[in-house]
Amino acid sequence: MQAKIPATVVTGFLGAGKTTLIRHMLENANGKRIALIINEFGDLGVDGDILKGCGDETCSEDDIMELSNGCICCTVADDFVPTMEKLLARENRPDHIVIETSGLALPQPLIRAFNWPDISTKVTVDGVVTVVDGKAVSEGRFAHNVAAVDAQRKLDENLDHETPLSELFEDQIACADMIVVNKSDLLAEGEADALVATLKADSRDGVQVVRTSMGKVPVDVLLGQGIGAERDLDARHEVHHHHHDHDDDDHHDDHHHEHGHDEFESFVVTRAEITDPKAFAERVADIIRSHDILRLKGFAAVAGKPMRLTLQAVGPRVDTYFDRPFGTDPRETRLVVIGEAGLDRAAIEAALQA
Ligand SMILES: Nc1nc2c(ncn2[C@@H]2O[C@H](COP(=O)(O)OP(=O)(O)OP(=O)(O)O)[C@@H](O)[C@H]2O)c(=O)[nH]1
């Protein structure tokens, strides 16, 4: 059986910057074949046209499909499932599927749709990315143009027109595996920090909150979260508050970013053999938490083992497995660390090498 194709759901209100983020992703896909499904919601096909104009070979027009009806929970069988089936029947299967949806309907029904019999064996929800308009949210408006969002909502009779945007926003946050605070260029540094802290406190444990402008989140950060959200729906029903301990809070105050947090960096840390894979993975998880590392991947040499131990971490979830013998490669531990600009490289190196 072929491996399941990962699908990332991108949600967020009109104008938050979803299209900008997706376009940046397509233009920097590093050869990954990404198929797009766009839930237009009476949006006159604008997003589709913008993305089709991308012209890059990684985003050919054929890879873009549109869902014509707004409310996915009402149209799973006659719109969503056939669209997915068409995509999956292709000879040239995509490496990844990205679904852009307006933040007006609950994201949960869309994710539930991935449990549909013929879909669940072929596709899995890699993660839910919620794009927020940092400026609008920090001003309590939630969308740049509230009237436009309301007008969009009125176009779809399946949507309830009464729920305040603040509640729809809470649902988007409760469902997110990653929250992208976009338009950070319009926020003062203190405002951005405060918003990120609030969103972290309001989201589930382990949810990554990144800030950017013009959706410039690297593909390696955005895709490949490996969550399997369709099997984890119960966790997404309501907001569970959790409290950061003081160390965490101090840590946030310690951030000094010159670039308004809209840049990312990565570096490689090497070290000698490790002795205990389990203890090492736990330490890596601690380091990830205390330094807000977004991704960490690579392999380790384990004393007495001929095979390489592969490590892959998305946030504090660390996966390890032995993949292949070192062969003629040097027996060293080599880890790529990815995070927002301003990582404390020296401290991370020292901690990983300890
Ligand atoms: N200042 C600023 N403007 C941004 C940023 N990201 C996007 N924009 C602008 O915000 C507007 C909306 O961006 P889109 O990417 O179309 O937003 P969307 O969420 O896809 O909205 P719809 O596709 O219309 O639902 C566009 O004019 C973008 O150029 C940002 O980081 N900073």
Q: Residue 251: pLDDT above 80?
A: no
- Cα 80 from Cα 73, distance rounded (Å): 9
Cα torsion for 323, 326, 328, 334, to the nearest 10°? 100
The protein residue with its alpha carbon nearest to ligand 1, atom 3, reads 183
Q: Residue 117: pLDDT above 90?
A: no
Ligand 1 atom, smallest distance to 131 CA: 19
Ligand 1 atom, smallest distance to 134 CA: 31
pLDDT at 261: 43
In what side-by-side order are the strands of the sheet with 34-39?
64-67, 34-39, 96-101, 5-11, 123-133, 178-182, 208-211
pLDDT at 146: 85
Q: Is 15 exposed, middle or buried (0-12, 13-18, 19+ CB in 10 A)?
A: buried
- For residue 121, the one-letter residue type is T
Using the mean position of ligand 1's atoms as its centre, give its distance from the Cα of residue 301 in Å. Answer: 45
Ligand 1 atom, smallest distance to 213 CA: 31
Ligand 1 atom, smallest distance to 14 CA: 25
List 309's β-bridge partners, or say none.
300, 322
Using the mean position of ligand 1's atoms as its centre, give its distance from the Cα of residue 11 in Å. Answer: 13
Q: Residue 312: pLDDT above 80?
A: yes
- Cα 41 from Cα 102, distance rounded (Å): 7
Tokens 């549109």, residue located? 66
Highest mean pLDDT, choosing among 34-38, 283-287, 311-315 = 283-287
pLDDT at 38: 82
Using the mean position of ligand 1's atoms as its centre, give its distance from the Cα of residue 291 in Å. Answer: 29
Q: Which two tokens stand for residue 261?
A: 């947090």
Rounded to an integer, the average pLDDT of 52-59 is 51
Angular region, 44: left φ>0, alpha ψ -120 to 50, beta rest: left
Using the mean position of ligand 1's atoms as its centre, give its distance from the Cα of residue 74 in Å. Answer: 28
Rounded to an integer, the average pLDDT of 260-285 is 86
Identify whether the C-beta of residue 313 lies closer than 8 Å to the C-beta of residue 319: yes
Q: Residue 268: pLDDT above 60?
A: yes
Using the mean position of ligand 1's atoms as its centre, give its distance from the Cα of residue 293 in Å. Answer: 26
Which amino acids bring their CB within 6 angstroms of ligand 1?
A: 12, 14-20, 47, 102, 182-183, 185-186, 213-215
Q: What is the ipTM of this complex?
A: 0.96
Give the percent of the chain with pLDDT over 70. Answer: 80
pLDDT digits (tens, 9 = 90+) for 190-236: 999 999 999 999 888 889 999 999 999 999 999 988 888 888 877 77
Tokens 């926020």, residue located? 187
Q: Residue 333: pLDDT above 60?
A: yes
- Cα 301 from Cα 311, distance rounded (Å): 11
Q: Residue 69: pLDDT above 60?
A: no
pLDDT digits (tens, 9 = 90+) for 154-175: 777 667 777 788 888 988 898 8
pLDDT at 82: 81
For the chain, what is the mean pLDDT? 81
- Cα 313 from Cα 293, distance rounded (Å): 9
- Cα 60 from Cα 21, distance rounded (Å): 17
pLDDT digits (tens, 9 = 90+) for 84-101: 888 888 888 889 999 988
- Cα 331 from Cα 72, distance rounded (Å): 51
Q: Which two tokens stand for residue 53?
A: 């104009």
The helix or strand, by DSSP H or E, that contains position 85, with its residue range, turns out to be helix 81-88
pLDDT at 237: 63
pLDDT at 112: 82
pLDDT at 327: 85
Residue 322: pLDDT band (50, 70, 90) is very high
Of the two residues 248 and 292, the one the predictor is more confident about is 292
Using the mean position of ligand 1's atoms as its centre, give its distance from the Cα of residue 224 in Å. Answer: 24
Q: What structural domains and CATH numbers belong to the chain?
A: 5-236 (3.40.50.300), 264-353 (3.30.1220.10)
Provide the 8-state DSSP code for 216. -
Using the mean position of ligand 1's atoms as its centre, give its distance from the Cα of residue 91 in Å. Answer: 34
Rounded to an integer, the average pLDDT of 317-337 is 90
Look at residues 168, 174, 177 and name the one whose alpha carbon lies nearest to residue 229: 177
Q: Residue 184: pLDDT above 50?
A: yes
- Which one of 9, 19, 50, 262 would you pick to mutate in the ligand 1 pocket, going by the greatest count of ligand atoms within 8 A of its CB? 19
The protein residue with its alpha carbon nearest to ligand 1, atom 13, reads 17
Ligand 1 atom, smallest distance to 41 CA: 25
Rounded to an integer, the average pLDDT of 4-29 is 90
pLDDT at 335: 93
Identify whether the C-beta of residue 133 lies closer than 8 Å to the C-beta of residue 183: yes
- Cα 199 from Cα 270, distance rounded (Å): 34
pLDDT digits (tens, 9 = 90+) for 196-205: 999 999 888 8
pLDDT at 244: 29
- Distance of CA 288 to CAs 177, 181, 217, 346, Å? 16, 20, 19, 14
Using the mean position of ligand 1's atoms as its centre, give its distance from the Cα of residue 154 in Å. Answer: 21
Q: Residue 131: pLDDT above 90?
A: yes
